Amino acid sequence: MKAEDPRYASARRLGLVACSDCHLLSRKIVLGSGQVAVCPRCGGELHQRKPNSIHKTWALLLAAIICYIPANVLPMTITSALGNVEADTIISGVIYFIHSGSWEIALVIFTASIFVPFMKFLILIYLLLSVQFRSKWRPRDRTVLYRITEAVGRWSMLDVYVVTILVALVKLGVLADIEAGPAVIYFASVVVFTMLAAESFDPRLIWDVVEDNE
Amino acid sequence: MGLTYSNDFILLNEDTLSGFGLDEIHPMHQIACHDCDLVQKLPPMPKEGAIVCLRCGSVLIRTRHNSIDRTLAWTIAGMVLYSVAVSFPFLAMKSGSIIRETALLSGVQQLFGQGEIVLATIVLLTCVTIPLLQMLLLLYIFLPLKYNFRVYSALPVFRVFQHFKPWSMMEIYMLGILVAIVKLGKMATIVPGLAVIAFALLVIVLACAISSIDDHLVWDCLEEKR
Ligand SMILES: [Zn+2]
Ligand SMILES: [Zn+2]
């Protein structure tokens, strides 16, 4: 069973469009300028491929990468306790947990906040380039890679929520007080932008290259 | 190819490949994979299981036994837990003689107070508003299916519901609570309130509600009733 089996026919080849929401197959029609096709079942817009997928994904990905820098450099929390003011970044938070012996928590934060977004950048860049350079290499594995990136990205929101909870709990006047640092909004933006980037990438483009090369 | 057959998964056979002409295409019998666009014939639906794309391995259709009843039951349980989670004390911090009690929305309120309006809105949407909307939309779609009456534009509503899914992040918030408790453990005692327990249960219940939805069945039923 090979991906290149000539009996394999994509909806695109058969002149069909699959609804991205309800999966109904419709026959592709020729549209005038400014017209959009609408799914007869659920009313969603029909596109054979997500429109402008590559450019949109690149734009959102670049926005995420730009936000990733201040997210890691600026402080996530500003703690004031008995007159001392301390600013903590994500990395200093991870180091704090390692020193205090909770290495599991350190690992969870490191994975969710630093590793996952970084891997998501690398994978999306690789997928975009592989489509743009018309690679035929292991389309199935690349599809799986895409699906994983799509699923795990949301977990990077973890540190944003930790800050929200700390800010609510630690409000003891002069004794101790925690405020959200400027990095938090950049961090939330990284997550939102990478999620939107993954959503706008169309994995079917990977397979189009394979089919076109037959 | 290293594919395994399990009881729950039906892999399309080679002979169900789309070697057919255009006239044979029927939306109820064929499906195009959302990840690789391959058109495939659908085998007879299993009672409970998944049909997997034979080219890329994506799950094409997940069928669920008693889907409508189960989704409704989980959603109603979710609504009860949700009302407890937003109205009762969430977490309390005890340090010496000082006690600070918070509610689920306290964090969002503090962020608003600190001028972090966008951030507060993101947290509010992902952990409070969207989960509630999800449950309300589920009731709007599944109550009519169960009791056989018609409501206004159920099909677009179900489409909107699908788009909310990745943006509902209560389970991540739950993990955030654990991290915060460990972080503050050294300087204070954290007392979980009734709302935290309800919130934790809600995470599980909402996950059960969503995983018991049979998308294909819902689309078919909604289309028939239109
Ligand atoms: Zn549709
Ligand atoms: Zn596929």
Distance from CA of B61 to the nearest CA of A (A): 10
User: Helix, strand or coil for residue B144?
Assistant: helix
Whole-prediction pTM value?
0.89
List CB contacts (< 8 A) between A166 and chain B: 180, 183-184
Query: How would residue B216 be classed by pLDDT, with cut points 50, 70 and 90?
Result: confident
CB contact, 8 Å: A99 with chain B? no
- Which residue among B30, B153, B186 sits closest to A100, beta carbon to beta carbon? B186
Domains of chain B, by residue range, sit at 2-63, 67-225
Amino acid at B174: M
Interface of A with B in 126-165 (CB under 8 A): 139-140, 143-144, 146-147, 150, 154-155, 157-162, 164-165
CA–centroid distance, B104 to ligand 1, in Å, is: 37
pLDDT band, residue B9 (cuts 50/70/90):
very low
- Domains present along chain A, CATH in parentheses: 1-48 (no CATH), 50-212 (1.20.140)
How far apart are the C-alpha atoms of B112 and A167, rounded to whole Å? 11
Q: In chain B, what is the straight-line distance between the N-terminal and C-terminal CA atoms, in Å? A: 43
Instruction: A18-21: list long-range contacts, CB under 8 Å, 24+ apart.
Output: A18/B31, A18/B32, A18/B34, A18/B37, A19/A44, A19/A46, A20/A44, A20/A47, A20/A50, A20/B34, A21/B159, A21/B162, A21/B163
Residues of A in contact with B186 (CB under 8 A): 100
pLDDT band of A214, cuts 50, 70, 90 = low
Task: List the 58-97 stretch of A: residues with Cβ below 8 A of B.
Answer: 97
Q: Would the pLDDT of A46 be above 50?
A: yes
| Confidence class for position B26, pLDDT limits 50, 70, 90 | low
What is the pLDDT, as a whole number, of residue A175? 72
Å from CA of A15 to ligand 2 middle: 17
> Mind listing the pLDDT tens digit for each residue in B40-66?
877 777 778 888 888 888 888 888 888
Reply yes or no on whether the pLDDT at B10 is more than 60. no
Distance from the Cα of B18 to chain A's closest Cα (Å) equals 6
What token pair was written down for A66? Answer: 């730009």
What pLDDT is stored for residue B76 in this prediction? Answer: 96
Retrieve residue B224's tokens: 């028939």
User: Do the Cβ atoms of A164 and B95 come within 8 Å?
Assistant: no
Q: Does B160 touch chain A (CB under 8 A)?
A: no
Strand partners, A27: A16
Q: Which residues of B touch A184 (CB under 8 A)?
A: 116, 119
The crossing angle, in degrees rounded to 10, of helices A183-200 and A139-152 is 140
What is the ipTM, given to two decimal places? 0.90
| CB-CB neighbours of A37 under 10 Å | 17
CA of B134 to the centre of ligand 2 (A): 28
Residue in A29, A207, A39, A26 with CA at minimum distance from that of residue B25: A26
Q: According to the model, what pLDDT value does residue A7 have?
A: 61
Distance CA B135, CA B214 (A): 16
Expressed in angstroms and rounded, the spacing between residue A139 Cα and the centre of ligand 2 is 10
Structure confidence by residue, pLDDT tens digits, A65-105: 999 999 999 999 998 887 788 899 999 989 988 998 888 88
- Residue pair B89/B103 in contact (Cβ under 8 Å)? The answer is yes
Distance B140 CA to ligand 1 centre (A): 19
Q: Do A143 and B107 touch (CB under 8 A)?
A: no
Please write the tens of the pLDDT for every residue from B174-201. Answer: 999 999 988 888 778 888 899 999 999 9
Q: Is A183 exposed, middle or buried (0-12, 13-18, 19+ CB in 10 A)?
A: buried
Interatomic CA distance for residues A47 and A19, integer angstroms: 8
Q: Tokens 């994975």 map to which residue?
A: A111
- Res. A120 pLDDT band, cuts 50 70 90: very high
* First CA to last CA distance, chain A: 15
- At A128-160, the pLDDT tens digits run 999 999 888 888 999 999 999 999 999 999 999
